[in-house]
Amino acid sequence: MTFRRSGNSGALLPAISLGLWHNFGFVDNIQNGREILRTAFDLGITHFDLANNYGPPYGSAEENFGTIFKNDFKSYRDELFIASKAGFDMWPGPYGNWGSRKYLIASLDQSLKRMGLDYVDIFYHHRPDPHTPLEETMGALADIVRQGKALYVGISNYAPKETQEAAVILKRLNVPFILHQARYSMFDRWIEDGLLDTLEQIGVGCIAFSPLAQGMLTDKYISGIPENSRAAKTLTYLDTDTVKSNLVKIQKLNEIAKARGQKLQQMAIAWILRQKQVASVLVGASSANQLKDNVEALNNLSFSKEELTEIEKIIA
């Protein structure tokens, strides 16, 4: 495994990290989840990314992770970098959503109990809250660190200006703000419009989620839409129309990947890691073999100028 520094911090992250958004809830097979986590650790993936409402149902991914952690990983706690988040809907009423101090501190307390942990390595505010003062949200993150419940803090889905403002507050509070978790792929490049430059300026790393555009940037859809695919089932932000509108691009990108000796998903991950601000790429996995396949992206991270130009023509 290759490790990369997160911004100007002392934290090193594996170039590929494992996200538990899908495939680890009560609706899933916990033994399959256990196999994925054990495979990840054997591959050198030390960073596991969770959130309070991952599942389904909400909280179940953290609870299942806690069960697996207790049985398999407890003695390796100091070799792991574990994340949780709060900011989206979690429980009914006014205190289970957004970015209030009440919600963030209560949510992390619940997450720690579900996972059986004394602390997380990083705790994120999952999305900006337009109704709560940023000083309150960042102040809650600062107190979470001071209480020993998190070693570092991060934010997710914040725009460049909001990120800059959050950094100013956290620096004043002397809180280690080290990561911005942002959606980024060949098909979703919004962070190139100011956010990467902002992160470079403030010395904060980026961890990219949805690097395969909900599965479009894989070899799954090269020949159309399989019946059992996510798009065919209209699951989690992907539908058949979206795939069809990008099919020609997917096929052309696949030809470049083959010429590089890679699968499309491997090239898509490598393409993200070419950005110096990116500390890690966050991948999901429905099986251990799928995870192994993604990690092979690290075998070829370099791109020629001609390859990048051709890729740009296709996805522009």
* 227: in domain: no
Name beta bridge partners: 292.
none
The C-alpha angle with vertex 108 and arms to 135 and 83, in degrees rounded to 5, equals 95
Residue 256 domain-assigned (yes or no): no
Assess if residue 235 is contained within a domain: no
pLDDT tens by residue, 75-133: 999 999 999 999 999 999 999 999 999 999 999 999 999 999 999 999 999 999 999 99
Q: Is the peptide bond before 92 cis (omega within 30 degrees of 0)?
A: no
**Mean pLDDT, residues 135-162:** 98
Q: Assess if residue 239 is contained within a domain.
A: no
Pairing of strands 12-14, 16-19: unpaired
pLDDT, tens only, 262-275: 999 999 999 999 99
> Does residue 252 fall inside a structural domain?
no
* 150: in domain: yes
Local confidence band at 218 (pLDDT 50, 70, 90 cut-offs): very high
- For residue 237, tell me if it sits in a domain: no
Task: Answer whether 54's CB lies under 8 Å from 20's CB.
Answer: yes
User: Quick one: average pLDDT of 211-231?
Assistant: 82
Q: In this structure, is residue 232 part of a structural domain? A: no
Give SS3 for 3. Answer: strand
Q: Which pTM does this prediction carry?
A: 0.96
Residue numbers of the domain that contains 120: 3-219+268-300
| Contact yes or no for 17/280 (Cβ under 8 A) | yes
The CATH number covering residue 34 comes to 3.20.20.100
Task: pLDDT band for 229, please (50, 70, 90 cuts).
Answer: low
Number of structural domains in the chain: 1
Go through 213-237 and write b for each residue having 16 or more CB atoms within 10 A of its CB, e for each that does not: bbbbbbebbeeeeeeebbbbeeeee
